[in-house]
Copies of this chain bind each other. A is one copy, B any other.
Amino acid sequence: MNFKIIDRFISPYQKLVQNVVIPYQEKILNDEIPNIEKSHVINNFKYAAELIETGKTNGEFYGMIFQDSDAAKWLEAAAYSLGLTKDAELEKRCDVLIDLIGRAQHPDGYLNTYFTLKGMEKRWTNLCEAHEMYCAGHMMEAAVAYAKVTGKDKLIKIMENMADHIYERFITDGTEGYPGHPEIELAFMRMYDYTGNKKYLELAGHFINVRGVNPHFYGEEYKRSGWYVWGAHIHEPDYAQNNKPVRELTEATGHSVRAVYLYTAMADYARVTGDEALKNACEILWKNITQKRMYVTGAIGSAYEGEAFTADYHLPNDTAYAETCASIGLIFFARKMLALEKRGEYADVMERALYNCVLAGMQSDGTRFFYVNPLEVVPGISGAVKTHRHTLPERPTWFTCACCPPNVARLLASLNDYAWSAENGVIHSHLFIGGELDISGTHGGKVTVETDYPNGGEIRYTFKPDGEAMDITLAVRLPAWSKNTEIRFNGEAIKINNINGYVYIKKPYKNGDVLTVNLDMGIHRIYANPKVYANNGKTAFSRGPFIYCAEGADNDGEVLNLFIDKKRNAALIDDNKITADGYRVKNNGALYSFDAPLYEPYTITLTPYYTWGNRGLNEMRVWLPSV
């Protein structure tokens, strides 16, 4: 299966990633952008290589303990970019970087510039915080992506050596422990998927299975080693999802990125091994997140403290953590749940997170990023007062911890992997993205997708069989938000039988056959469960997959005093803006008054959430009070 994206909405994003984000981040890795936090990541590899090759270096490590992963994530994004567009120069620079990475690897396979430069005697003594496996995992992901696109296996070989090193220590020698930040588990699954080598499946299973069996491991580890980075061992064990064995987890807790990375690996491992208990745990965790702990934008993580999940229905809008990387991880998890079982809700959430939280994470020019994606912003409070230091009202240029920007880049550049499944004569259309699906090898032809989605609701699938017909089932997702979906085959209406969120249309598809899907692109008002006490009496708006927000820029500078009229109209106007009848509330200026405020009619303008924060500092609100 190969899906080439040619899409009015997504292709410009991919070009932005290719033309702006990846080159910009490459410059950052090389410390070529002035006036921003130094990266030093390439230098770290250079000094580590020098030390290994010559026994000495004058260079010093600089950056976060997981700085290596910035190189890995950039390489992975670059690999996807090469998959979209050949670029001999970029590929050459990737090869140079990979050579450098190889030179920074120790003879025993160990690869990590922090410990190489800071002292190898401390390696593997702080699994809780040191991110050695996290960095290795990201480098394995890059290796698989790069090998798939270029056919070059140098980085795969490097990471196979590192995997062998880990295998020897943690499986052969039986050293206790599991990584503080899950990541390598899903990476081992990707290594297994690409190489077929069961060793990687075993490694993934090992770290999934030992996790939380001894929930006190990190505390014990600290007692032995006596050193720490931030003191993460003093967090409760659910911070790193090691409070219980993973099959017993029932609530999404702790650091939200760690959580969804772990669940991604669990779902993938459950699929490959048929482990029902693990699958069951994944389903319970999925429900807990999506039915009780997820923002309407597909964001997760309610608290800055621990960058973490908090409690059911605790979804504050103005102090949300809602990290871009966590929503990306939720998309990873959803994709693996879809691989386990084709349920539209998984793709619905994938879409919700993508078109709202993740895209909002990036400035429209591709050079600035949000870590934190609040649903309510108040200049002077957001990013300013102590409880809101994290909810920046504008995207900063770069972060000391640069995890989100390259994560956005690698996701957007690899979206083709999320749009379709093709298995056993059935092809599932999960995401509505224009392009050409080539399934000649397995399903006898090609399918072209044309659409204005997500701004328009029509999706046209045109079939080009290799032979006379493609005798397949096309399964089209029926988004839960589309209350009236119509499907026509060569112009003739098809009755829709919704099976777990998909309609299955089996045909001998002939050349030029067209299946047209028309989704309900009406404006919807959304109401939160009353237990979400932050949103009592409030209304949000959506159209298609987009969640909307009100920004000061469209509303005479102020949105916090706007109320939606429950009974009156909302309408789509130019582009994808919505206007809704409402009121601007005015009071007598008193902090508290017995006089009911005055409601002056006002037409409220709403824009898709993903576009917010591109027009300077202003108020923003997703959930508007209503009268």
Contacts and interface: CB of A to CB of B under 8 A. Distances in A.
Interface of A: 290-292, 294, 296, 302-306, 308, 310-314, 316, 318-319, 376, 378, 380-381, 384-387, 481, 483, 524-533, 536-538, 540, 560-561, 563, 566, 585-587, 589-597, 625-627
Question: For chain A, what secondary structure do more than half of its interface residues adopt (helix, strand, loop), or is it mixed?
Answer: loop
B387 A594 contact: no
A538 B378 CA distance: 19
B529 A312 contact: no
A291 B527 contact: no
Contacts of A560: 530-531, 533, 536
B596 A525 contact: yes
Contacts of A319: 319, 387
A590 B536 contact: no
Contact of A527 (B483, B526, B593): B593
A592 B538 CA distance: 12
29 contacts: A291-B590, A302-B385, A302-B387, A310-B381, A310-B385, A311-B384, A314-B378, A316-B318, A318-B533, A319-B319, A319-B387, A378-B533, A387-B387, A481-B594, A524-B594, A526-B592, A527-B592, A527-B595, A528-B591, A529-B587, A529-B589, A529-B590, A529-B592, A530-B597, A533-B560, A536-B561, A536-B585, A540-B592, A627-B627
Nearest to A387: B303
How many chain copies?
2
Contacts of A597: 527, 530
Contacts of A380: 311-312
A596 B526 CA distance: 8
Contact of A291 (B294, B311, B591): B591
Which one of A381, A385, A387, A566 has the highest number of Cβ atoms from chain B below 10 Å of its Cβ? A387
A318 B378 CA distance: 18
A520 to B, nearest CB: 11
A291 B626 CA distance: 26
Contacts of A302: 385, 387
Given A529-B589, A536-B563, A536-B625, 19 more contacts: A303-B387, A306-B386, A311-B381, A313-B591, A316-B387, A318-B533, A319-B387, A387-B387, A525-B596, A526-B593, A528-B592, A529-B590, A529-B591, A530-B560, A530-B561, A536-B560, A536-B561, A537-B538, A566-B596
A590 to B, nearest CB: 6
Contacts of A524: 594
